[in-house]
Amino acid sequence: MSLANRWINRGLVAAWRWAERRGEIVPGTHAGDRFGSLGEGSAIGFPMATLMNPGSIHVGSGALIGRHVTLSVGYGPGAPNLPERGLVIGDRCIIGARSSLTAHRSIVLGDDVWFGQDVFVCDSSHGYQDPEVPIGCQLGEHQPVEIGSGSWLGHGAIVLPGTRLGRNVVVAAGSVVRGEVPDNAVVGGSPARPLRRFEPEVGWVSERGHVRPILRGMEQLEALEALEALEREIEQGAQQGSDDDDRPALAH
């Protein structure tokens, strides 16, 4: 690469970093003032994918929203009869890059909800029953979505209209969720199904009855590391046994 191109590259990267810092939406900025509310310490990364009708969007304090995220309410800019609180994001939520929250009636995230990247949440879909009308023109029913405080949605999860997730719910990466999920549950798959449930004084119980213990604080990290090490040993032992079985028996 020529010296000129190296300097051009350096300048473009520096300019982009400057734009990311200056373009971030925080309280007190022109874009931030357009929100229904944008709490102290919250930030929305630059660039965004889509920001539509922010007056109906409310973000709590300490929330971090990644780059290329879509936050929208309604079917178009300035649409009539917009809900006052169409999209509500609680305190200390983290929304991963390229995620999309598209509300028409109501999407509510509790406090401390974390999204991985590419998560999609919507409270409306399209109909299809009229074969003479394009699918995109058949507007579906608006069904509110609620995601309980403390929940975690993995990379690429999809939350469909009408879904209600309880508190401290884990949604596995790539899952498609619809319906009601109780507090303290782990779900995954397409469609998502229960993988583990919380039983007080017992732990996190899988559908096959396997129990993971209740852990708190640093105890949790240490125990998970020990569990992972044990699982690796078991897998290595099983593989070693399989290799031994495949070897031809020695003649005596």
145 burial (CB, 10 Å; 0-12 / 13-18 / 19+) is: buried
Residue 43 lies in a domain: yes
Count CB-CB contacts under 10 A for residue 44: 25
pLDDT recorded at residue 231? 74
Q: Tell me, what DSSP letter sits at residue 56?
A: G
pLDDT recorded at residue 180? 96
pLDDT exceeds 90 at position 249: no
Residue 8 lies in a domain: no
pLDDT recorded at residue 150? 97
- 120 or 125, which is more confident: 120
pLDDT exceeds 60 at position 128: yes
Distance (Å, whole) CA 65 – CA 149 = 16
Residue 184 lies in a domain: yes
Residue 125 lies in a domain: yes
Q: Taking Cα atoms as reference points, which of 35, 15, 17 lies closest to residue 27?
A: 35
Residue 85 lies in a domain: yes
Find out whether the peptide bond into 47 is cis, omega within 30 degrees of 0: yes
Which domain does 137 fall in, by range?
Answer: 25-197
Write the CATH number for 52.
Answer: 2.160.10.10
Residue 52 lies in a domain: yes
Residue 207 lies in a domain: no
Residue 15 lies in a domain: no
pLDDT recorded at residue 219? 62
Mean pLDDT, rounded, of the chain: 90
Does the CA dihedral 109-115-117-120 come out positive or negative? negative
- pLDDT tens track for 93-102: 999 999 999 9
Q: Compute the chain's Rg from CA coordinates.
A: 24
Q: Domain total for the chain? A: 1
- pLDDT tens track for 9-58: 999 999 999 999 999 999 999 999 999 999 999 999 999 999 999 999 99
User: Buried b vs exposed e over 89-127: b needs ≥16 C-beta within 10 Å?
Assistant: bbbbbbbbbbbbbbbbbbbbbbbbbbbbbbbbbbbbbee
pLDDT recorded at residue 59? 98
